[in-house]
Amino acid sequence: MRGFCLQLQGFGLIGILHFRLEEEESVPLYTYEYPSDAIQGSDLKRINGLLKEFSPNAQPLSLAELKEILSVSYMAVLRDGRKAIVGMATLVTYRKPTGCVGVIEDVIVTAQCRGRGGGRQLLRCLIGNARQMRLKHLELTSNPKRVEARALYQSLGFLLRDTGCFRLQL
């Protein structure tokens, strides 16, 4: 089954519609869509679990914080056949003097679901949305230790930039 992304007006989207992935395991994976006002406590718990898996020092999000994030960005979520969230990726867009750009943040797939195409599908959906929004480019960062993730990004056309990234901890 071939999947597709929807361009929805406005923000507040969690998920992208109906993409069936490889069924190598007993539970197929799907991306899924519903409005941000339909977020349930179990979804928030799974998202916080993913964030903790990605960054052990991450503080859990409250429901209000998650809804605030979704009011200004796009989030694609990956669900298993039981509709539990097993992956996510976020697209943040902004305008700067040289044009509108996007940043992909927090691409996370649970360890037990990696290697089944979920991360690729999350990224393809966000890339599709970025193209429909006519963004100038997308950026993302990835720790050099994340060899598989970096290979995925390069396979999708992302190029490693020869630049330094600076951060001021506040």
pLDDT of residue 31: 52
Say whether pLDDT at 37 is over 70.
Answer: no
Q: Rounded to whole angstroms, how far apart are CA atoms 18 and 53?
A: 25
- Asked if 103 contacts 88 with a C-beta cutoff of 8 angstroms, the reply is no
pLDDT of residue 22: 39
Say whether pLDDT at 15 is over 70.
Answer: no
Query: pLDDT over 90 for what percent of the chain?
Result: 44
pLDDT, mean of residues 23-31: 47
pLDDT of residue 99: 92
pLDDT, mean of residues 33-52: 78
**In this predicted model, what pLDDT tens digit does every residue of 92-123 receive, in sequence order?**
999 999 999 999 999 999 988 888 888 998 99
Domains and CATH numbers, the chain: 13-155 (3.40.630.30)
Cβ-count burial of 150 within 10 angstroms (0-12 exposed, 13-18 middle, 19+ buried)? middle
Say whether pLDDT at 142 is over 70.
Answer: yes
pLDDT of residue 108: 94
Where does the pLDDT of residue 162 fall: very low under 50, low under 70, confident under 90, or very high at 90 and above? Answer: confident
What are 54's two structure tokens? 């990605």
pLDDT of residue 3: 31
Predicted structure pTM score: 0.78
Beta bridge partners of 74: 13, 91
pLDDT of residue 26: 41
Q: What value does the mean pLDDT of the chain take?
A: 79
User: How does 152-162 read in b/e, with b if 16+ C-beta sit within 10 Å?
Assistant: bbeeeebeeee
pLDDT of residue 38: 64
pLDDT of residue 7: 32
Query: pLDDT over 70 for what percent of the chain?
Result: 77
Q: Rounded to whole angstroms, how far apart are CA atoms 162 and 170?
A: 26
